[in-house]
Amino acid sequence: MEFEAKEKTKVAEEIPDNLHNGRMEEVLVAFITVESSDEDALQDVAAEASKDILATKEKVGAERIMLYPYAHLSKDLAKPKASIQLLDMVEKMVAADGTEVVRAPFGWYKSFDVKCKGHPLSELSRDFTGKAAKKSAPKGKDAYFVLTPDGEEVRIEDYKSTSECMRYMIDKEALGKEAPAVKEPDYLRLCKKFGIQWESMSDAGHMCLAPHGAMMFDLISDYATQIVNGSGFSVYNVKGTNMFSLDEPAVKEHADLFGDRLYTVDTGKKKFVLRYAACHQQFAMIRNWNISYRNMPFGAFEVADSYRMEQSGETMLCFRTRRLNMPDFHVMCRTVPEAQDSFRFLDGKIYDEIEAIGREYEMLVNFSSMQAYRNNKDLILKLCNDHGRDALIHIYPEGINYYWTVNIEYHMLDQMKRPREIGTVQIDVGNAQRFGITYSDENGEKQYPVILHCAVIGSIERWMYTLLDTAVALEKTGIPGYLPVWIAPEQVRLMAKNEECVAETLKAAEAIRSAGIRVSVDDTDATVGKKVRLSKQDWCSYAAVIGEKEIESGQLKVYVRSENRDVDMTTEELVSRIKAETAGMPVRDMYMPSELSKRCGF
């Protein structure tokens, strides 16, 4: 077989000069056409084809193989990119057998000469459909039981829990019981207060945020970034796009495993999936990096806008949305044991964050198979002992080759008595190979890393929900609800007693603002009583009236919302207290005018 690449077509791949010509003797030539139906199963079609090509080579006694793109065997052609990918796969699979192989270039007008031996196996026709790629069906049913810190596996029917969250979680996850409906959740009142609402001019499940809500959102995003960058891992912060082509085999295969909540965009020429996490973008970047075992473990991070086609009747403000923002952290590990150690470390971070705001988690631990449970049981037992808690175990039915092995959902019981998944961490053993991510080990050999997926505080929206739900819980104890000072949109409200005191009030506010504290000034002509009531309605962390007496003495009577009482202190003491309370937390300036007289009503 001899060929010469003469002229490019509009879909031609770039090739070096030494591949414009090719000649081989005692060669099995495979004329290959890739069809559109192959695009959903490129890997499996390539595997079937390469296996048959190698078997045929042995039958006919050929010494080498040539792969020759030949579009004339079918009218139903695959897209050029998919065709090139399949040809590359077949070439690599054949070469991996130790066989000499050459691939003619795709998309070129070529001349060729062929001399064929005249015996029964001179010409053969094959059609590969990728049967192995057909979606496998699960075999059996989901299994649930409770694992205790001492290693006992307790049947759901026999389990007695002292944890209210665990009881409700078992009802929902294992028994399929729905909690009674709630007419108007209390947290929605706080959403309205802080300007968090649905956008009626968009698709269902899309939020919009007024200045207070926008500030809270951005501060949580800053905080999520801060947690990851301070985790002790080497972290690469990245930014990416939110739309990926389903023509890409890795994207298509990953999307098929994700489920039926894909949010898609069809441009007429191509079909795209809106990312449901940062996986695609981070993996697409990392596959092109030169990674040594010395660099590992390391992480990649992005607060990624993500999209899931939730049912419109199931959307829930801040908690279940079609557009969410996920602080997605992926950690590349050399081995499963290293991944398990990092998994345990991240589990500790997840618990630290929920306990820091006075809440607690119960664990729903999902396993992709019974074998995955056996392989990771010791890890989960360590976590149960770390936290002194039982874990609800969920084992998926056999028959589906998931890319992950173990996934923990960390559930918090909210004020509606619903277990809500917030944080999560997962071990991924499939996507490195799917996306072509490798590292060089101690011997210079290419290896696939084990990948951890982690959202320490869940999505930005869900952590916002957690803080609002926590404020509602505080209200039910008989004290005013409040937000942590670092995230309160208005940390300090100063109120001028009268018009004559406005200048000194603004001066005091500037001193506080210069310390990096958000401070507003009520310089309106409202009565003092009305100003005080408004400061409480606005959930200001600290509020003080400044009149002639306060200007002269330098002493303020400051209302402390978290204590629901007035405390005497100077401006300097107020600044010191707030700086101590917010130490180490992210800081942003106010998102609206400080003076109330300059604000629009909304």
Quick check: 336 and 363 in contact, CB under 8 A?
no
With tokens 């290896």, the residue in question is: 447
**Residue 470 class from Cβ within 10 Å (0-12 exposed, 13-18 middle, 19+ buried)?**
buried
Average pLDDT rounded to a whole number, residues 118-126: 70
Whether 250 contacts 434, CB under 8 Å:
yes
Say what the pLDDT of residue 136 is: 57
The one-character DSSP state at 436 is T
Q: SS3 helix, strand, coil % of the chain, rounded to 5?
A: 35, 25, 40
Residue with tokens 């200001």: 540
pLDDT confidence of residue 123: 74
Beta partners for 543? 493, 559
Instruction: Give the pLDDT mean for 90-97.
Output: 89
Q: Is 449 helix (H, G, I), strand (E, B) or coil?
A: coil
SS3 124: coil
The answer to whether the beta carbons of residues 573 and 492 sit under 8 Å apart is no
Please tell me the least confidently modeled range out of 88-97, 111-120, 560-569.
Answer: 111-120
Q: Give the model confidence (pLDDT) of 347-398 as tens digits.
A: 999 999 999 999 999 999 999 999 999 999 999 999 999 999 999 999 999 8
What's the pLDDT band for 119 if we cut at 50, 70, 90? low
**Residues ≥6 apart with Cβ < 8 Å to 494:** 505, 508, 509, 512, 519, 520, 521, 522, 543, 544, 546
* Most trustworthy range by pLDDT among 115-129, 138-152, 227-241: 227-241
The amino acid at 448 = Y
Specify the higher pLDDT residue, 43 or 136. Answer: 43
**Higher pLDDT pick, 70 / 364:** 364
Q: Which two tokens stand for residue 280?
A: 């695609």
pLDDT digits (tens, 9 = 90+) for 422-465: 999 999 999 999 999 999 999 999 999 999 999 999 999 999 99
Strand ranges for 321-403 from DSSP E: 323-333, 362-367, 391-395
As a whole number, the mean pLDDT across the chain is 92
**Edge-to-edge strand order for the sheet containing 101-103?**
27-32, 64-69, 101-103
What H or E segment, with its residue span, contains residue 245? strand 243-245
Asked if residue 1 lies in contact with residue 29, where contact means CB atoms within 8 angstroms, the answer is: yes
Distance CA 310, CA 276 (A): 11
Q: What is the dihedral of CA 562, 563, 569, 575, to 10 degrees?
A: -20
Instruction: Name the pairing type of β-strands 64-69 and 101-103.
Output: parallel
Residue 389 CA to residue 146 CA, distance in Å, equals 10
Q: Give the confidence band of 137 by pLDDT, cuts at 50, 70, 90.
A: low
Token pair, residue 264, equals 């898609």
* CA Rg value for the chain: 31
Assign 328 to helix, strand or coil: strand
282-338 pLDDT tens trace: 999 999 999 999 999 999 999 999 999 998 788 999 999 999 999 999 999 999 999
Domains of the chain: 2-132 (3.50.80.10), 143-469 (3.30.930.10), 492-598 (3.40.50.800)
Whole-model pTM: value is: 0.79
Tokens 């956008």 correspond to: 199
Instruction: Give the pLDDT mean for 518-547.
Output: 97
Could you give phi then psi for residue 355, rounded to 5 degrees?
-70, -25
Instruction: Give pLDDT, residue 131.
Output: 56
Angle at CA of residue 601, ends 516 and 214, nearest 5°: 45
DSSP state at residue 35: B
- What tokens does 433 get? 């190979």
Before 593, cis peptide (omega within 30)?
no
Question: Across the strands, what pairs with 323?
Answer: 307
Higher pLDDT, 259 or 39: 39
282 residue type, one letter: Q
Reported as a pLDDT band with limits 50, 70 and 90, residue 114 is: confident
Q: How far apart are CA 596 and CA 592, in angstroms?
A: 9
Strand spans (E) along 243-390: 243-245, 263-266, 271-274, 298-307, 323-333, 362-367
Residue labelled with tokens 């060929």: 3
pLDDT digits (tens, 9 = 90+) for 401-415: 789 999 999 999 999
> Which one has a higher pLDDT value, 598 or 117?
598
**What secondary structure does DSSP assign to 196-214, as a single string?**
EEE-TTSSTT-EEE-HHHH
Cα gap 234→254, rounded to integer Å? 26
Taking a C-beta distance cutoff of 8 angstroms, is the pair 347, 385 a contact?
no
Count of residues in the chain: 602
| C-beta atoms surrounding 441 within 10 Å | 14
What residue type is 281 in one-letter code? Q
Q: Which segment of 81-90, 143-152, 208-217 scores lowest on mean pLDDT?
A: 81-90
Residue 281 near residue 304, CB atoms below 8 Å: yes
Mean pLDDT computed over 493-512: 96
Query: Which of the pair, 113 or 400, is modelled with greater confidence?
Result: 113
Share of residues in the chain with pLDDT > 90 (%): 75
Please give the C-alpha separations between residue 266 and each of 117, 248, 491, in angstroms, as whole numbers.
49, 15, 46
